[in-house]
Amino acid sequence: MVAALIGGGVVVALALGLGLGLGLRRHGAGASGRDRNTSDVLLHPAPGSLWVGASPDWSRYSVKHFDSAVQNHAIIYDAFFHLSDALYTPGCRFNTLTNYQTDEPGDCFDFIAEQVKATGAIMSISLMPDVVGFGLAEIIAPDSSIPARFAAKLKSLADADPRLRMMVRFGHEMNGNWYTYAGHPAEYVQAFRVMATAVRRSVPDRVAFIWSPNANMDYPWGYTGVDSQNLEPGSRNTSDPRFELLDTNGDGVFDHHDDFASPYYPGDEYADWVGLSVYYYNFTDKTQNAQVTPGFVYQAITVGSQTDAALYPNAPNFIQQYSVAKNKPFMISETSAPSLNTSTSAITALDAKSGMWEQVWNASLTKEFPTYHGGIWFDYAKEEGEGKEMALRDFRVTDDPEVRSNFAAYLKKLGERVTWARG
């Protein structure tokens, strides 16, 4: 998610096991390279099932808040973690922007585990290696203690509750230009593998890793601000050690013709799930609300934006290539369509958001892509934008009564297609 325009986060998801009856069924072992236990529901969601998840602003909201809004128990809850020592400190709390301290017991991981425990939901944590001293280079260093410490923490959570299952969305949106870890494909792949290996050694069959780039919305995005370290679009800097990996078609130019995802894929044996960040904005005037264009989500999970689809009809189909063909579950791991209270457009908050949720939780997608499993709604309100476009953008579906009631009603109409936590 673009930092200036789009909220972000890495996901570690804890899914409760079969004993809590999440309503998930098995599907066959895939080409993932990892031995999949057919009793492990985390790795085998029912084909065609739609998961409803949320990423709330934990500094303001709770599991109960979102569950009350949707009139059911969401199956997965997400939290954003900036990887550092602070995560393991008693009283650590966070939202997508910062970690902070309280006088409450338990560290950041304990806090989310306790939140989801009451409902039987999946715990989802986005793990972001963007803090000095905890970046990709430090993770892959031969003497690094970072992977082992993280694995030990997940093991302690698993030991405390045998029903817990975990999913790690490590270094999400690594193909963007808004995080310090973005634009480093070789180091990212190695770090993903190191983290996955360490966790699996400590917590075998209890953790799934999800690989989640940003959707191909006019990739590549190039340099933007101090956090960006990616190559500039149009670069011909063949002396940069990253260039050969990023110039996927080998034409000597880093541009829209290059694959937005493949340089960062960690390998079938390391990624259990695949996902994408998919947001809709008014791309013409970011100071105004906008209605989501028809087919937007379908294009985002396949070839990218409408522009990409028109210009590059032979572009790789992401969900087909990485999910269906490999039999790996797919979810939209971050999604929303923000509204602005300052908008003078006739498009209301309900118009903006309903257009998105109707496409994200669309049963027709599961018919074409049986590995498609819905998404996680980014339920924040935050300042975003640059210059005159800076504004409070409301991504939430839980605040406005009209939006809230219509969202719940839409999900209810989907009936048994939706997999809820049992509570």
Please count the CA atoms within 13 angstroms of the CA of 260 that sit on its side-chain side.
30
Rg of the chain's alpha carbons, rounded to an integer?
20
Task: Write down the number of H helices and E strands in the chain.
Answer: 12, 15
Which sequence positions are flagged as catalytic? 173, 334
- Report angle CA 228, 232, 234 to the nearest 5 degrees: 165
Q: What are phi and psi of 408, to 5 degrees?
A: -60, -40
DSSP for residue 75 = S
Kindly report each contact of residues 195-200 with a partner whose C-beta sits within 8 Å and lies 24 or more positions away, as own/partner: 195/127, 195/139, 195/147, 195/150, 195/151, 195/168, 195/170, 196/168, 196/170, 196/266, 196/270, 197/147, 197/270, 198/147, 198/148, 198/150, 198/151, 199/147, 199/150, 199/151, 199/154, 199/166, 199/168
Classify residue 180 as exposed, middle or buried by CB count within 10 Å of its CB (0-12, 13-18, 19+): middle
DSSP for residue 322 = I
- How far is residue 59's CA from residue 114's CA, in Å, rounded to a whole number? 15
Sign of CA dihedral 261, 172, 135, 145: negative
Give the bridge partners for 69, in sequence order.
none
CB atoms within 10 A of CB 111: 18
- How far is residue 125's CA from residue 207's CA, in Å, rounded to a whole number? 12
Cα–Cα nearest to 49, from 369, 378, 299: 369
Q: Do residues 81 and 108 touch, judged by C-beta distance below 8 A?
A: yes
Q: Do residues 9 and 128 touch, judged by C-beta distance below 8 A?
A: yes
